[in-house]
Amino acid sequence: MTDTDIFISGGGVAGLTAAAAFGAAGFTVTIADPAPPITDAASEGADLRTTAFLQPARDFLDAAGVWDRLAPHATPLQVMRIVDAGGEDLTPRVTRDFDAADIGDLPFGWNLPNWLLRRELTARLDDLPNVTFLSGTGFKAMLTRTAHARVTLTDGTKLTAKLVIGADGRSSPVREAAQITSKTKRYGQKAVTFAVTHDAPHNNISTEVHRTGGPFTLVPLPDHDGKPCSAVVWMEDGAEALRLAALPDEDFNAAATARSAGVNGPLTLVSRRMVWPIISQMADRITAERVALVAEAAHVMPPIGAQGLNMSLADLAALLDVAKDNRDALGDVVMLDAYARKRHGDIKLRVTGIDLLNRASQAENPLLRNLRAKGVEALHGLTPLRKELMRLGLGAKG
């Protein structure tokens, strides 16, 4: 029986970041995931999506000893541009820029490919002698007591931990073992994710183009073969997303260029396409005896406003804070109650807000599209409100 301070189920970006952060803080950590991390873009199954880390997330990664590894590969996001193309044709009719310079000296965030995040995070874990990464081994079962949890892994390994962190996704085995239920909303949408080159420079502007079906979002990446490059998340009704994902490259390029309203010029596919279901989900509780849920085990939302993983890192930051304040009572009910109080309200606020934004982005009725366009204009035109919304998007409490 192996003893550890913390056991983490899940070796995605959130789980690996948790292991680095808690390891850097001096806790002994064991992390397990049934699938070895894929750490290069060319390998089958590589996660070609990107993640935009907002300012608070960068600070957390810095404290975990990870940001110096990521910074050389990160593309700054200086401006968030909202385009409404919901008129009679696909041309932009409302364009408004939300510039990070209005609220500070730093960009809103920095964009990085997910496969590269896994590469650098696993390298960081190798440098931490108090962190053990069991790649290719998953969580199987646990038995919790007031003093510790006993965890069994899929290879038969047994260990005891003072705290079990469920960072194992929207179908979290830890959440299920802790008998925590969740509520799910389905939108009938899927996201097609891919990378493109384009003629116009992106100028570190992340652009969301709204029409129907969901936003079409271009997020800046480093140049590809000497041409400006962006990651794209194209949200559409499920059947349409599957149709688009199956188009020949030339037809797909034309469809993507049209849906982008031409904001960066003609788009040329430079990666394979991936399709992901879009849901909102909230766990009814984020704690149980000796258990804390984080990231998609606790909450899932549509990929709008770079909130997803940044909320996950806010979970980790809150959990780490209360863990450091309760080193002698790690994982006990007082510590876990403090974590729940820190995160429950913010999670509910942001999941609800993104749900409303996504429903607005799906609008097909021309009257609703007109209302959406007027709303963007009004929000941007009120300077104090615009600045407050930008601060809220970066993680400030509402």
The CATH number of whichever domain residue 165 belongs to comes to: 3.50.50.60
Q: Residue 378 — very low, low, confident or very high, per pLDDT cuts 50/70/90?
A: very low
Q: Residue 56 — very low, low, confident or very high, per pLDDT cuts 50/70/90?
A: confident
Amino acid at 367: L
In a domain, 102, yes or no: no
The reported pTM is 0.86
Task: Give the range among 16-30, 47-61, 349-363 with minimum mean pLDDT.
Answer: 349-363
Average model confidence (pLDDT) for the chain?
A: 86
In a domain, 144, yes or no: yes
Task: Give the range among 46-55, 249-258, 283-292, 339-348 with minimum mean pLDDT.
Answer: 46-55
Three-state DSSP class for residue 141: strand
Nearest Cα residue to 144 out of 292, 349, 301, 325? 292
In a domain, 53, yes or no: no
Q: Residue 289 — very low, low, confident or very high, per pLDDT cuts 50/70/90?
A: very high
Per-residue pLDDT for 386 more than 70? no
- Residue 282's beta-bridge partner residues? 183, 299
User: What's the confidence (pLDDT) of residue 19?
Assistant: 97
Between CA 190 and CA 239 the distance in angstroms is: 8
Per-residue pLDDT for 314 more than 70? yes
Range of the domain at 323: 2-46+118-184+283-358
In a domain, 320, yes or no: yes
Both tokens of 206, joined, read 């992340």
Alpha-carbon radius of gyration of the chain: 21
Per-residue pLDDT for 39 more than 70? yes
Q: Residue 199 — very low, low, confident or very high, per pLDDT cuts 50/70/90?
A: very high
In a domain, 341, yes or no: yes
Task: Give the range among 23-37, 100-114, 190-204, 290-304 with minimum mean pLDDT.
Answer: 100-114
Per-residue pLDDT for 374 more than 50? no
The total number of structural domains that make up the chain: 1
In a domain, 156, yes or no: yes
User: What's the confidence (pLDDT) of residue 98?
Assistant: 77
Between CA 237 and CA 211 the distance in angstroms is: 12
Task: Give the range among 3-12, 30-39, 275-284, 286-295 with minimum mean pLDDT.
Answer: 30-39
